[in-house]
Amino acid sequence: MRMGGPTGRTLSRLLAWGLLAGLAGPETARAQYYDDGYGTRRPPAYRPAPAPEPQRQFYWPWEDRPAAQPQAQDPGRPAYRGAYRTPRPRREREREREVAHSREGRSVQRPKPRPAPAVARPAAPKPKTDPHVQVAVFGDSLADLLGQGLDTVYEANPDVVVIRRAKGDSGLVRKDVIDWPKAAEDYLKANPKVTYAVVMVGANDRQPLRDGDQTLDPLSERWRAVYRDRVDALLKVFTDRKVPVVWVGEPPMKSEALSADITSLNEIARDRVQRAGGVYVDIWPAFVDESNRYAATGPDLEGRQAKLRTADGVHFTQAGARKAAHFADVEIKRLIEAKGGTPALPDAVSTLTPEAPPAAGLPKLDDDAAIDRLITAMLPSLPEPPGIPALPVKPAAGPVLPLTRNEVAPNGTLVNGRPRVEGEAGYTLERSLTRGVAPPPQPGRADDFRWPRG
């Protein structure tokens, strides 16, 4: 069949162009121009091929489906609900929530931290200038704690100062640690204003003692003799300087063996101190229980139960040091009063001192007795109390009675003998108590269970 005319020519051209496009490939065909049949050459319209749709895999009900894998999320796009999201910290979420609240116009107020409570600090002790009474404390570590307790006692008294010269791990046995007689003598020479000396030593002296070339066993006869001489040597230092000594005995220890040896050392110290004219203070009863044994707790100065000793069973706590210092303080005040010193007076009476001239009509206050007489004269006279009736005086002892004598009744019968009961009453007692037969019931008595007649 022969195709002629314009229509035939157009179909021939289309076939030729298609044949050339197939031979040149898709890219060459896309780049070529084609005739639209009306004499106009137009480039072909380029359209990218659509992406193939993912094919869903078909699974039978008895087949296991693979687990879904988390998809990588584009950082520029928000995550949808089904995607895997990493949990954020709680603080970040709360911060975003607060920002969202603030954007909505709500005020977000965080609670302000509470200020720390103000702690009242004790006032710093004022330095004592030129005190009249100086108390020097010598001894071991227990003596240092005792000095701390005495310092607390006289902290508010500007007229008394406590000087702690104690050294831990020292005693009268080991002269290589410290020679207390020499150390005390050197200190008194350098400080002649020391008024009283407090000594507490012995807790570290339970050990062998060197006497020349010999080593003496603790608490042997020779050891005791040498230890007495060393106690006397220390006391002689204070006696020569005319410094009164208050020797405080050692307290009980947690170790029973150590407490037994401390008792022997306290007896030696008590004997030598009293011979030298000093004052010995026994604090042992203040740190034991009812059985005279070591007690770590006990009543303090205010009567409350407190811990008095530390865990090592040797040293004092703060409350224990204050309690031990109380007994030494009593003796120190007695020495001050015996020497003619006057204790500190309250503010209301402090103006009436020997240095200040008294007001008109008031006597000059020289000592405590004058102050007591002045106060007594100011008080109104009280009526005499009525007489107390005399109570009868009881004899110191009653009549003497022998323990082996048999008591006899007035009719001559022994008091502890078996009583005789005659007649019907005797028969009833014999029948009831010996044979165990109950007596017959009587009308109206509790054991009469008979039904009343009539």
Per-residue pLDDT reduced to its tens digit, 35-91: 555 666 666 555 556 667 766 676 776 777 676 666 555 555 555 444 445 566 777
Pairing, β 133-139 against β 34-35: unpaired
* Cα–Cα–Cα angle for 162, 166, 170, rounded to 5 degrees: 165
Average of pLDDT values for 287-296? 91
Burial class for 172, CB neighbours closer than 10 Å (0-12, 13-18, 19+): buried
Q: How confident is the model at residue 94 (pLDDT cuts 50, 70, 90)?
A: confident
Q: Give the model confidence (pLDDT) of 232-256 as tens digits.
A: 999 999 999 999 999 999 999 999 9
Q: Which residue has the higher pLDDT, 217 or 46?
A: 217
Q: How does residue 1 score in pLDDT terms, banded at 50, 70 and 90?
A: very low
Q: What are the distances in angstroms from CA 158 to CA 162, 186, 248, 343? A: 11, 26, 24, 11
Share of the chain above pLDDT 70, in %: 61
- Statement: residue 352 has pLDDT above 50: no
Residue 446 — pLDDT band, cuts 50, 70, 90?
confident
pLDDT band at 131 (very low <50, low <70, confident <90, very high): confident
Residue 200 near residue 250, CB atoms below 8 Å: yes
Higher local confidence (pLDDT), 178 or 359: 178
Q: What is the pLDDT of residue 361?
A: 42
Average pLDDT over residues 108-134: 69
Give the pLDDT confidence of 150-159 residue by residue, as tens digits: 999 998 888 8
- What's the count of helices (H) and strands (E) in the chain, helices before strands? 10, 11
Distance, CA of 297 to CA of 375 (rounded, Å): 42
- Give the other-Cβ count within 10 Å of 151's Cβ: 19
Q: Is 315 in contact with 309 (CB distance < 8 Å)?
A: yes
Could you tell me which residue, 351 or 311, shows the higher pLDDT?
A: 311
Residue 112 scores a pLDDT above 70: no
Residue type for 45, please? A
Question: Is the pLDDT assigned to residue 102 strictly greater than 90?
Answer: no
Give the helix/strand (H/E) hosting 75: none
- For 322-342, write each residue's pLDDT tens digit: 999 999 999 999 998 887 754
Exposed (0-12), middle (13-18) or buried (19+): which is 329, by Cβ within 10 Å? buried
The mean pLDDT value for 420-447 works out to: 74
φ and ψ of 376, to 5 deg: -65, -40
Q: Are strands 34-35 and 41-42 parallel, antiparallel or unpaired?
A: antiparallel
Instruction: Give the Cα separation of 193 and 206 in Å (integer).
Output: 34
The half-sphere exposure of 30 on its side-chain side, counting CA atoms within 13 A, is 7
Q: What is the mean pLDDT of the chain?
A: 76
Q: At what angle do helices 318-338 and 141-153 cross, to 10 degrees?
A: 70
In the chain, the amino acid numbered 188 is L
Asked which of 62-76, 122-136, 162-176, 332-346 is least confident by mean pLDDT, the reply is 62-76
Q: What span, in angstroms and rounded, lies between the C-alpha atoms of 247 and 139? A: 10
C-alpha 345/C-alpha 350 separation (Å) is 5
Q: What is the pLDDT of residues 12-42, one digit of tens each?
A: 777 777 666 565 555 444 445 555 556 666 6
Task: Tell whether the model's pLDDT for residue 279 goes beyond 90.
Answer: yes
Higher pLDDT, 127 or 236: 236
Does residue 209 have a pLDDT over 60? Answer: yes
125, 148, 126: which is closest to 135 by C-alpha?
A: 148
The structure tokens listed for 327 are: 């007994």
* pLDDT confidence tier of residue 302, bands split at 50, 70 and 90: confident
pLDDT of residue 54: 67
The two three-digit tokens of residue 289, written as one number:
């229980």
Q: Which residue has the tokens 């008080």?
A: 379
Question: Encoding tokens for residue 259?
Answer: 């407490």
Tokens 């970040």 label which residue? 92
Provide the pLDDT confidence category of residue 364 given band limits of 50, 70 and 90: very low
Q: Which one, of 178, 176, 180, lies nearest residue 230 by Cα? A: 180
The whole-angstrom separation of Cα 254 and Cα 243 is 34
pLDDT of 388 > 90? The answer is: no
Residue with tokens 């005792």: 146
Comparing 151 with 440, the larger pLDDT belongs to 151
In this prediction, residue 346 carries a pLDDT of 36
Exposure string of 227-251, with b = 16+ CB inside 10 Å and e = fewer, is: beebbebbbebbeeeebbbbbbbbb
Per-residue pLDDT, 376: 60
Q: Decide if pLDDT at 404 tops 90.
A: no
Contact between 272 and 235 under an 8 Å Cβ cutoff? The reply is yes
